[in-house]
Each structure stands twice: as C-alpha cells, then as structure tokens.
Chains A and B, each alone.
Chain A
C-alpha cells in the first residue's frame, strides 16, 4: 500500500491557461474521487469514478472541468481556461468499496493550484 499519489504538488499558472493534474490511487481500490478545498473550508466533492466509469459529477464541475480515468487506474483532472476562482487545493481520494459501503477514504496530499 503506497498510498494515493498526486502530481504535481504545486502548480502556478496564468489566467486562461489549461492545467492537468494526475492521481494514482491505491492499486486495489476501484473507487476514485476528486475534491476541491479552499482556505479555511472543508473539501467539496467534484466527481467520482467506479473503475473507468464516471458515475457522479457535482454542479461545481463546470464545463471547463473534465476528469477521466481511462483504464480504471490513474485519473486526470483538466481545467481549461483557468480563472482566479479556480485557485484551490485539488484532492484525490480512493476507497475499496465506497462511502455507501462504509469503506474509509484515503486521500493524497493534493495539488495546490494558484492562478495569477
């Protein structure tokens, strides 16, 4: 169990640029989640995959955001035409059977995005 890995740890970009983040979940976990956290707030749910299927998306995930998990292993989160309001910590988590089956979530250390 090597834990959930996220890359990069930090990303600084100019407004209007596109950015992509990667998440590698714990290898035997088939559930993968993306959350966003701003300073002083708790994480907010963005989207959820079971294997390669994206089963749930938050209304926070505007059309500038897209997430994929092409082979049911790693996942990418892309933000197009970044805005200053996108500045946040983007957290990835995985679990073996999901929240509804009482499996705890294991989080990565996040990607800190700063849009200037």
Chain B
C-alpha cells in the first residue's frame, strides 16, 4: 500500500529566502508525482507533474525533483514571497491494479513573512 509523507508539517520563513519542501513515498513503482498548492478553504492548484521517467520539472521559481529509487521528491521555491504562503501537497499515482487514484501526503503549511 502506497503511503506518502511530507516533512515538515509547517514551515515559517522570512521573505526572500529559498526553501525546500520534502515528500517521501513507500512504493517506488509510480506513474508520476504531482505537487499541488492549496489556499485556505479552497481547492488544489496543480503546480508541477513529474513523470516517473523524469528527474525534475521547473516552473518559474519552482523546481521539483524526483528520485524514484529512494522514494523522495523535493519542491524548491526560490526567493519566497508572502503570496507563496499556502499548504503544499504532494501526491503520487501508482499502477496498483490500474488505479487512477492519487495518494496524497498531509501537506506542508508554508508561511512567508514580509
């Protein structure tokens, strides 16, 4: 059974700092890993999707890496801004019985202080 863990549960940084969020998963047989952002009381916004054959994906100030063999992914945020404050969730898609479901971590709540 796939399990996804995110560390830390919460993180507070001053504006302008570079930061790394961590995600680990127990079963390395995955289709892909996705990073999402969730603002309070809202749905999830897809940030980056890394296919199992890829090592990283970049979008603007965001860079996500994937090490499938060790079951780890990181989300790097450069030059953080107060608008980056949100909960960041990672999720993996696994080929268990052809399932379409994503398994999510509990998220890391990020606060960027002005």
Q: Is the CB of B106 within 8 A of A42?
A: yes
Please name all residues of chain B whose beta carbon is closer than 8 Å to the beta carbon of A109 when the two chains form the complex: 41-43
**A107–B37 Cα gap in the complex (Å)?**
11
List the A side residues contacting B46 at CB < 8 Å. Answer: 104-107
**Contact pick for B44, options A6, A55, A102, A107, CB 8 Å:** A107
B93 A100 Cβ-Cβ under 8 A: yes
With a CB–CB cut-off of 8 A, which chain A residues contact B34?
A: 104-105
Tally of contact residues, B, Cβ under 8 A: 27
Q: Is A112 an interface residue (CB 8 A)?
A: yes
Q: Does B112 contact A (CB under 8 A)?
A: no
Chain B neighbourhood of A48, CB < 8 A: 100-101
Which residues 18-68 of B sit at the A interface, judged by CB distance below 8 A?
Answer: 31-32, 34, 36, 41-46, 49, 51
Q: Are B31 and A102 in contact (CB under 8 A)?
A: yes
| Chain B residue, CB-CB nearest to A50 | B100
Closest to B34 in A: A104
Q: How far is the CB of A63 from chain B (nearest CB, A)?
A: 20
**B residues near A, CB below 8 A?**
4, 31-32, 34, 36, 41-46, 49, 51, 89, 91, 93, 95, 98-107
